Amino acid sequence: MRVALVSAFIEDQVYEHKLDDSFMKNTICKEDHFYHRIAKALSKKNIEVVIFYPSKEKIEKKFVHKFGHEIVRVPVKYIPFIHEPIVYSPRLVEIIKNEFDICQFVSGYYVMYKVPDMFDYIVSKLHNKIPIIARWAGGNHEWMTILRKPIKKKSLNKCQKILCSGKNEIGNLKKIFDIPSEKISYLINPIDLDIFKKRDKIETKKQLELDVKKKYFLYVGRLTINKGIEELLETFKEIQKIKKEIILILIGDGPLKNKIIEFAKKYNLENSILLKGRCSHNEISIHYNASSILFHIGTSGGLPNVIIEGIASGLPIIASYNGANEDFVNEKLGTGILIQPGNKSQLKDAIFMILKNEEKFSKNISNVIIDFTYEAFGEKLVKIYESIKKNKF
């Protein structure tokens, strides 16, 4: 069986970098992004997988990821249009239709709220020609225009299956888009539990050459707006006045990087705010173990991989009430505290609560983590494929 794993984004915009050959080889082919973890899980089940990266680059080209699967950079047509561009790729549709058994979208946010996006375009072209599996990770459906929602509803209903990672989002699919229950499957992206696991905090601090007497706050993700970074910086600045032993580490890259550097200089926090840039999964896992709190307080929906990784590592988490966060981060499970996005008062209170009760929040790892292994994920996804095929698409 050949499966096309497809991004519905122009990935140049996602990375804010041209997907030239050098970037593809030195970044995309070496990273541990969840697209590639999905491919790895399927490869373990003897499924042939190719990942497609839509790009503004005009030359189609194949690359090989470090996990062994193929990546194809495929050109898109890009037409600027008022607030959002119109994007489509006849070449991508042609390849999938002629060479694959299943088309599975791995990107989960279909963010064009005014015009049809790549997801709508590809679904319209492949409908009734090949089985289509979508991934719904949230996004704010309230931002969609009156004309936009019917388009999205129609596209989603044309898919044979929709993978979803949160109970709230499953509810939205049913209520907002009239998706029948039998079309929805609850499935969360896989993580490597041999990498993300509990380790001794002191030893991992030493491994990272960090001061063992300090406490570390951690952010992992894109340095961009709507991630709660601005609120985190302001709150950290206030807390650092009375708790000098706390250091903030940010792992990732993005357009806010220079603003973060300027913020640190302005408030004399150059030695207290550490920008680590892009890191491998192995490096990130050690940072989880060395830290006291992980922050994911943005406004986007879905279930971020960093939350599952943090839980597996025994790291307390402060997250926002968004998407599937509520299913995995809460005081009942002992995994962390939820706050309203943008609420700095709640953020500050949550930080002090965890600092006072750090052992309570890091003692247990939720049993649900076992469902996120490569083996479990691959097995569930293959069953979905077989079910679609059995129903004689």
Domains and CATH numbers, the chain: 2-190+373-390 (3.40.50.2000), 201-369 (3.40.50.2000)
Average pLDDT over residues 201-225: 96
Candidates 275, 194, 266, 211; CA nearest to 237 is 266
The pairing of beta strand 61-64 with beta strand 70-75 = antiparallel
Mean pLDDT of 38-65: 97
Q: Which of 39-48, 142-151, 174-183, 283-292 has the lowest mean pLDDT?
A: 142-151
Residue 23: predicted pLDDT: 97
Q: Is the pLDDT of residue 114 over 50?
A: no
Is residue 95's pLDDT more than 70?
yes
pLDDT of residue 234: 97
Please identify which residue in the block is written with the tokens 């006849």.
Answer: 90
Cα dihedral 289, 293, 298, 301 in deg (nearest 10): 60
- Judged by DSSP in three states, 122 sits in helix
Residue 251 has pLDDT above 50, yes or no: yes
- Rounded Cα distance, 236 and 305, in Å: 24
Q: Provide the pLDDT for residue 85.
A: 77
Percent of the chain at pLDDT exceeding 70: 91
**What backbone phi and psi angles, to 5 degrees, belong to 148?**
-75, -40
Phi/psi at 45 (5° precision): -100, 15
Which value, to the nearest 10 degrees, does the dihedral of the CA atoms of residues 324, 329, 332, 338 take?
A: -100
Residue 367 has pLDDT above 80, yes or no: no
pLDDT band per the 50, 70, 90 thresholds, residue 138: low
Q: What Cα–Cα distance (Å) separates residue 187 from each residue in 157, 236, 379?
A: 18, 35, 11
Structure confidence at residue 390 (pLDDT) = 82
Tell me the pLDDT of the chain averaged across its residues: 90
Band (144; pLDDT cuts 50, 70, 90): low
Is-contact 48 9, C-beta < 8 A? no
Query: Would you state the pLDDT for residue 361?
Result: 77
| 242 touches 272 (CB < 8 A) | no
The alpha carbon torsion through 287, 290, 293, 297 (nearest 10 deg) reads 0
Mean of pLDDT values over 364-393: 84
The 3-class secondary structure across 301-368, one letter per residue, is: CCCCHHHHHHHHCCCCEEEECCCCHHHHCCCCCCCEEEECCCCHHHHHHHHHHHHHCHHHHHCCCCHH
Q: pLDDT at position 113, please?
A: 42
Q: What is the pLDDT of residue 387?
A: 94
Give the pLDDT mean for 148-174.
88
| Residue 228 near residue 197 (C-beta atoms within 8 A) | no
Is residue 62 left, alpha or beta, with left meaning phi > 0 and alpha meaning psi from -120 to 50? Answer: beta
Strand partners, 51: 5, 71
Longest dimension (CA), the chain: 65
Q: How large is the angle between the packed helices 167-177 and 148-157, nearest 10 degrees? A: 110
Interval 184-204 mean pLDDT = 92
Name the one residue in this structure whose structure tokens are 């004399």. Answer: 268
Q: What are 368's strand-pairing partners?
A: none
Is it the case that residue 364 has pLDDT exceeding 50? yes
pLDDT tens figures, 253-274: 989 999 999 999 999 999 999 9
Q: What residues form DSSP beta bridges with 217?
A: 248, 293
pLDDT at 208 over 70: yes
For residue 351, pLDDT beyond 70: yes
pLDDT recorded at residue 327: 80
Please check the confidence at residue 242 and state whether its pLDDT lies above 80.
yes
| CA distances, 133 to each of 32, 33, 102, 144, 293 (Å) | 22, 19, 8, 22, 35
The highest-confidence range among 113-117, 164-168, 237-241, 355-359, by mean pLDDT, is: 237-241
In sequence order, what are the residues at sequence separation of 6 or more whose Cβ sits closer than 8 angstroms to the Cβ of residue 346?
Answer: 339, 340
Neighbours of 66 (CB within 10 A): 11
DSSP reduced 3-state for 105: strand
The least confident of 161-165, 201-205, 245-249 is 161-165
Give the DSSP letter of residue 292.
S
